[in-house]
């Protein structure tokens, strides 16, 4: 079975051959994205 794209990206960034779910790795991060779904609920509507 093939590896997920996220596993491939993390393995490459950590300079490892493979990674699996639940592995703890240390790697360089060149781009990070945060999505906060609670933001819309915390803003008071003006209606």
Q: How far apart are the first and last CA of the chain?
A: 52
- Cα(14)–Cα(26) distance, rounded to whole angstroms? 6
- Give the per-residue pLDDT at 29: 83
Q: Which of 8-12, 30-34, 36-40 has the lowest mean pLDDT?
A: 36-40
Please give the model's pTM, rounded to 2 decimal places.
0.60
State the pLDDT at residue 44. 59
Predicted pLDDT of residue 40: 55
């Amino acid at each position: 079975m093939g590896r997920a794209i996220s596993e491939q990206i993390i393995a490459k960034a950590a300079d490892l051959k493979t990674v699996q779910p639940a592995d703890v790795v240390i790697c360089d991060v060149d781009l990070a994205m945060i999505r906060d779904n609670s933001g819309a609920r915390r803003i008071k509507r003006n209606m």
